[in-house]
Structure 1
Amino acid sequence: MKNLTVNDDFLLLEGLKVTTQSSTPAFILLLLIYIFIMVSNVGLVVLIFGSRNLRQPMYMLFCNLIINDVFGATIIIPHVLRDIFISQSDRHIHYIDCVLQAFCVHFYGSTSHTVLMIMAFDRYVAICNPLRYASIMTNRMVLKLSVAAWGSALVMVAILLGLTIRLSRCRRIIPNLFCDNASLFSLSCESVLINNIYGLAYTVLLLGSSIGSVTLTYLKIAAVCMRSKNKALNRKALQTCASHLAVYVLLLVSAFIIVVLHRFPQLSNYRKLAAILGEVLLPALNAVIYGLQIKEIRQRITGDIQMYCSKRSIKYKNREDKKYLKIVSD
């Protein structure tokens, strides 16, 4: 361990502060949340691709969000689980691993916004241009939108981290739950003016385009619904938009909280709590919100559960009948 403390390639990650008594409950809680995220999200993907009725542009685009949620949870939760039972003075991470984790964290956060933007576009076309929906939202268009969402996030984050890794380091402690860009360039004693300028531009561009496009989309959808006299169609439109809007508001609130708390180093414990809410609970809530809100998915889930229960009931009945016949024959 002494070799690690003098090696500049290893950083000290502060991680989650838990007492010895609360370490086991915290580990079990995070583990259960991670299992739920994996089972629910992977289950939704299997459900969507396994049903012809759900192979629609809306659900294909939703799969991007599911995959991104699984990716985001996987880069954070296993690392936190590993560090819970390790003392804070021994929570070392290699600099390259830290950069890779920071890249994945920002890539996950950026892709969450870009994916929700293309999902909002899908709802806009479906509600505002229903007659042209099939001709616009083709499989090719879904692929283009998906590539654009992931590709734009990849480029922005690559530049963000590229500006950081060029800096030398004079500090080793990262006072955060996981590695991120702000924690990495704060390790340097060089001027980080360029990093701050690009970081601000990156945040404004991402959040500004996200908020602007989603707000404009829903204003147009609201205008169409207000002009329409078909209450059934309006109700269906609001139901499909409600899940998307709920997920987006949760993401936006968590993003703003984390950005604001980064400006106050003395509030590091609150920043860690906000990071847990944003990086751990959001992937779990997304599956619940979409699984319960969207009628087609809800019906498919309840149908599969009923089919499973009926099969179990038939097997149990057959087993009891065999026992009865055996008793009678004896």
Structure 2
Amino acid sequence: MEEGTLNSSKQELTLESLFPNVSSVLTLQGFNLPPQSVVPAFLFASLNYMLILFCNLVLLFTILFNKSLHQPMYLLLLNLPINDLIGSTALFPQVIHELVLDSRRIPYDACITQAFFIHIYGAGSIFILTAMAYDRYVAICRPLRYQSIMTHAHVMRIIMLVWLCCFLVIGVLFFLLLRLPRCGSRMPHAYCDNPSLLQLTCADTTINNIYGLALVAVTQVVALGIIFCTYIQILVACFRSKKAETKTKALQTCATHLIVFLLLECLGLFTIISYRIPNLSAQTRRFIGVSTMIFPPTVNPIIYGLKTNEIKDIIFKFFRKKILPG
């Protein structure tokens, strides 16, 4: 019995000597804010998270509880606030916790969970906006066949395909990550993501890098290809239309979608490129990364809520009844 205990202790000592930096708790890089900036940063993060929760939940419940909005366009749009809530909830509680307690430590399991859902948010945003572009193409370019094409069953299949693709491609990404041994516990970033976790491994990451780059490339090519082709045909159909009202409504709807998509694309590409620039300062890289998680979830529900007349009218009527009853 004693001999077994000694052998076990020797094995533990050997592992500890081989990987002295391995711990079940990771240390994040943090934002390195000066003391006078901590309170403003905490207030900004807290208020921004509450704003994201409020705006996205209003949009979500408005679509859910109004049967007049149970149409293909809005059923697809419904997934956008869900996805934004996933991304912001994956990031903000950890950031607020770090600012309040001045703690940069996070359990490894929690870090993996945070990174997984942050990447789900990124992939989900692209796939959902691509599905919405397809819906707008059918509505504007095939108006007489819209009801027969975009049936409830077909819309549900599209939504299931979007989320299945998200969890599949990101699941493979993290399967490739978790198969590698880890020999570090100091994160090079202020929050957890796949590239940062990959830097903690002590094995060949060639397969991970190839899959990650291929995933970004294929996703971008497919999404941009579909959206570019659909919008070209939408513009052609709009300019051919003789009805000014129809043309204006179609262009307004498409402009709203395009603004949201371009905002996400620009921030996402800046984030990806920032990892490939070794001379970029850590603070700039952190700001770019966090901005991708802050601006789209904040702006999306406001843009869709104010630019989509049906949603705007329902929201305004609801608040008028609550604030000015009778």
Q: CA deviation at 1:279?
A: 0.5
Whether the 8 Å CA contact 1:228–1:234 is kept in 2: the answer is yes
Whether the 8 Å CA contact 1:101–1:180 is kept in 2: the answer is yes
Query: Is residue 315 of structure 2 the alignment partner of residue 292 of structure 1?
Result: no
Match of residue 68 from structure 1: 83
Q: CA deviation at 1:138?
A: 1.4
Q: Deviations over 1:251-284 (max 9, x none)?
A: 0001100000011244321121112211022101
Partner Cα separation in structure 1 for residue 324 and residue 114 of structure 2: 46
Match of residue 186 from structure 2: 173
Partner Cα separation in structure 1 for residue 224 and residue 131 of structure 2: 12
Partner Cα separation in structure 1 for residue 320 and residue 25 of structure 2: 53
Partner Cα separation in structure 2 for residue 174 and residue 280 of structure 1: 21
Alignment gaps of 5+ in structure 1: 315-330
Query: Is residue 191 of structure 2 the alignment partner of residue 205 of structure 1?
Result: no
Match of residue 58 from structure 2: 43
Q: CA deviation at 1:169?
A: 2.0
Partner Cα separation in structure 1 for residue 299 and residue 134 of structure 2: 22
Whether the 8 Å CA contact 1:37–1:284 is kept in 2: the answer is yes
Q: CA deviation at 1:310?
A: 3.3
Match of residue 286 from structure 2: 272
Task: State how 1:216-295 maps to structure 2 within 5 Å.
Answer: 216-265=229-278, 266-295=280-309
Match of residue 175 from structure 2: 162
Query: Is residue 321 of structure 2 the alignment partner of residue 307 of structure 1?
Result: yes
Whether the 8 Å CA contact 1:177–1:275 is kept in 2: the answer is no
Q: CA deviation at 1:7?
A: 5.2
Match of residue 42 from structure 2: 27
Whether the 8 Å CA contact 2:127–2:162 is kept in 1: the answer is yes
* AA at the equivalent of 1:195: N
Q: Deviations over 1:93-140 (max 9, x none)?
A: 222221221111111100110011111111011001111111111111
Question: TM-score with structure 2 length normalisation?
Answer: 0.90
Please state whether the residue corresponding to 2:201 is helix, strand or coil.
Answer: coil
State the identity %.
37
Match of residue 325 from structure 1: none
Match of residue 152 from structure 2: 139
Please state whether the residue corresponding to 1:15 is helix, strand or coil.
Answer: coil
Partner Cα separation in structure 1 for residue 159 and residue 61 of structure 2: 19
* AA at the equivalent of 1:300: I
Partner Cα separation in structure 2 for residue 300 and residue 216 of structure 1: 33
Q: CA deviation at 1:54?
A: 1.5
Partner Cα separation in structure 2 for residue 254 and residue 15 of structure 1: 21
Q: Deviations over 1:269-317 (max 9, x none)?
A: 1121112211022101001100111111111122223333431xx5xxx
Please state whether the residue corresponding to 1:188 is helix, strand or coil.
Answer: coil
Classify 1:105/1:309 alpha carbon distance in 2 versus 1 (closer, same or farther; 3 Å).
closer
Partner Cα separation in structure 2 for residue 180 and residue 310 of structure 1: 46
* AA at the equivalent of 2:64: F
Whether the 8 Å CA contact 1:68–1:112 is kept in 2: the answer is yes
Alignment gaps of 5+ in structure 2: 1-19
Structure 1 segments (4+ residues) deviating >4 Å: none
Q: CA RMSD in A?
A: 1.5
Moved more, 250-259 or 39-48: 39-48
Match of residue 71 from structure 2: 56
Match of residue 126 from structure 2: 113
* AA at the equivalent of 2:307: Q
Whether the 8 Å CA contact 2:72–2:135 is kept in 1: the answer is yes
Partner Cα separation in structure 2 for residue 308 and residue 164 of structure 1: 50
Classify 1:264/1:173 alpha carbon distance in 2 versus 1 (closer, same or farther; 3 Å).
farther
* AA at the equivalent of 2:119: H
* AA at the equivalent of 2:294: V
Please state whether the residue corresponding to 1:11 is helix, strand or coil.
Answer: strand
Whether the 8 Å CA contact 2:76–2:128 is kept in 1: the answer is yes
Please state whether the residue corresponding to 2:189 is helix, strand or coil.
Answer: coil
Whether the 8 Å CA contact 1:18–1:84 is kept in 2: the answer is no
Q: Deviations over 1:202-257 (max 9, x none)?
A: 11011111111111110110111122222111101011111111110000001100
Moved more, 217-226 or 259-268: 259-268
Query: Is residue 98 of structure 2 the alignment partner of residue 83 of structure 1?
Result: yes
